């Protein structure tokens, strides 16, 4: 079954959040998500970063800014997506991960600052990557890796201009076009 995998970034402030949100986008792309939806002020610098990476490194990873998180999440639920909210308060990923692997359409929700109580309620699953405070970028990465059982690590990106050939030392980059 082909998965449909969306990352939902809840909260973005222009300038202040540029780097962390960019990391979220690139991690979502590199680790197998189809697109990211960002709830917050539209930030063209983030859009440009993603477009630039797609152009050079391939694939068709999508990015979209929206304003109304509640409306968006409810619409995704109507389209049969299961909402998985990553939070240190949720059930351990090592316990629920296998179950989630069976789902076909998933939205992985990651917060920035404080997340409204209603997100916990709307979510089909609240899932934790440790019960310690750390980073939504790290939580997303571990979750995506476990959700796809490592398959995402070898994902191919079509239409790339450049590609890395893994090497023991140094950098080996191949120009494809």
Residue whose C-alpha is closest to residue 43's, from 77, 12, 7, 76 = 12
Contact 134, 108 (CB under 8 A): no
Report if residue 74 touches its own copies, rule: CB under 8 A: no
Closest distance of CB 9 from its own copies, Å:
13
Cα separation of 31 and 140, whole Å? 9
Contact 24, 11 (CB under 8 A): no
Q: Which stretch binds its own copies (CB under 8 A): 4-12, 39-47, 100-108, 167-175?
A: 167-175
Closest distance of CB 33 from its own copies, Å:
11
Q: Which stretch binds its own copies (CB under 8 A): 33-41, 70-78, 100-108, 117-125?
A: 117-125
Closest to its own copies by CB, 67 vs 176, is 176
Report if residue 139 touches its own copies, rule: CB under 8 A: yes
Closest distance of CB 120 from its own copies, Å:
5
Report if residue 41 touches its own copies, rule: CB under 8 A: no
Structure tokens at 168: 């023991």
Closest distance of CB 5 from its own copies, Å:
15
Closest distance of CB 151 from its own copies, Å:
9
Residues with Cβ within 8 Å of residue 146, at least 6 apart in sequence: 93, 94, 97
- What are the Cα distances from residue 37, in Å, to 21, 121, 170? 11, 20, 35
Report if residue 137 touches its own copies, rule: CB under 8 A: yes
């Amino acid at each position: 079954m082909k998965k449909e995998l969306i990352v939902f970034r809840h909260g973005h402030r222009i300038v202040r959040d540029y780097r962390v949100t960019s990391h979220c986008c690139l991690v979502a792309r590199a680790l197998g998500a189809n697109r990211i939806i960002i709830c917050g002020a539209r930030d063209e610098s983030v859009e440009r970063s993603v477009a630039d990476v797609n152009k050079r490194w391939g694939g068709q990873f999508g990015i979209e800014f929206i304003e109304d998180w509640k409306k968006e999440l409810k619409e995704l639920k109507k389209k049969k997506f299961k909402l998985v909210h990553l939070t240190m308060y949720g059930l351990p990923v090592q316990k629920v991960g296998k179950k989630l692997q069976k789902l076909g359409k998933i939205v992985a929700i990651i917060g920035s600052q404080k997340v409204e109580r209603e997100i916990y309620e709307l979510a089909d699953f609240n899932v934790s990557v440790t019960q310690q405070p750390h980073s939504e970028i790290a939580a997303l990465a571990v979750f995506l890796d476990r959700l796809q059982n490592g398959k995402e690590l070898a994902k191919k990106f079509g239409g790339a201009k450049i590609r890395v050939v893994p090497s023991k030392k140094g950098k080996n980059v191949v120009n494809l076009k």
